[in-house]
Amino acid sequence: MVVLTTALALAGCEGALSTVDPAGPAARTIAQIWWVMLVGAVAIFALVMALVALAFRARGPVDETRHERLWVIKLGIAFPVVVLLALLAYGLAAGERLLPRQGADVVRVGAEARRSAWAFSYADVAGLRTDHVLHIPAGRPVDVAITSTDVIHSFWAPRLAGKIDAIPGHVNILRIEADAPGVYAGRSAEFSGVGYDDFAFTVVAHDPASWERFVRSGTP
């Protein structure tokens, strides 16, 4: 019953802002981390519940030393520690894959947040700026240089990558990539004043021909 309920709940996780419906390599890594952490948490929870159930069912005299060694040290301490260390190691290794690395095919764009809008600039096209919509080529890594003009905001396109803060006077680099052409939703996932919950942007991933047209003319 629990498995069926969980499956039904997760079936509704697809959507424009879903972190478990990835559309790019970085988002896929983050979704994998989420699933692995979920499995580890369920394993520890199941063990704890089993120990609680067995404690209530215990009958008759027990060997206290053997009982303590098995239930407290091996299952109560060793098992959770091993699981948590494995999850930590996996999380650190996966996190390394999310870091922006140098590459010849990397596209560089800028994202500047302010309370009313996101403004995007493009290293390949001097003077070109777009508001509310970030244009990227599909199938190529894109390094977004993110900053803010006023307060701290947060750049987040859940189906393409994780989120990172936009901080005044500082530039953070986030690598995003879309597997295929399409339109992807983005949000400012940081409280920044009245109306922040409507502070959204869109990422448009272009096929090669459409991207070249955008770079040449500044129009999709």
Condensed to tens digits (0 to 9), the pLDDT of residues 110-144 reads: 999 988 789 999 987 778 899 999 999 999 999 99
**C-alpha 105: how far from chain center:** 23
173 and 141 in contact (C-beta within 8 Å)?
no
Domain boundary among 98, 117, 152: 98
Asked if residue 74 and residue 143 are part of one domain, the reply reads no
User: Residue 86: which domain range?
Assistant: 2-98
Asked if residue 73 and residue 112 are part of one domain, the reply reads no
Tokens standing for residue 208 = 């090669």
% of the chain beyond a pLDDT of 90:
32
Asked if residue 213 and residue 120 are part of one domain, the reply reads yes
Asked if residue 186 and residue 116 are part of one domain, the reply reads yes
For the entire predicted model, the pTM comes to: 0.74
- Tally of CA atoms within 13 A in the half-sphere of 215 that contains its CB: 15
Asked if residue 114 and residue 66 are part of one domain, the reply reads no
Question: Which of the four pLDDT bands, split at 50, 70 and 90, describes residue 99?
Answer: confident
Strand partners, 14: none
Tokens standing for residue 124 = 């390949």
Asked if residue 67 and residue 7 are part of one domain, the reply reads yes
Euclidean distance between CA atoms 112 and 62, whole angstroms: 66
Asked if residue 142 and residue 112 are part of one domain, the reply reads yes
Domain count, the chain: 2
Question: Which of the four pLDDT bands, split at 50, 70 and 90, describes residue 80?
Answer: confident
Q: Which helix (H) or strand (E) holds 18?
A: none
146 and 71 in contact (C-beta within 8 Å)?
no
Strand partners, 149: none
SS3 59: coil
Q: Provide the 10 A C-beta neighbour count for residue 42.
A: 12
Going by C-alpha positions, the residue among 10, 31, 22 that lies closest to residue 94 is 31
pLDDT for 207 equals 93
Domain boundary among 98, 117, 149: 98
Domain boundary among 49, 71, 98: 98
Asked if residue 92 and residue 51 are part of one domain, the reply reads yes
SS3 78: helix
Asked if residue 132 and residue 72 are part of one domain, the reply reads no
Asked if residue 212 and residue 111 are part of one domain, the reply reads yes
The arithmetic mean of pLDDT across residues 169-192, rounded, is: 89
Could you tell me the CATH number of the domain that includes residue 114?
2.60.40.420
pLDDT for 66 equals 62
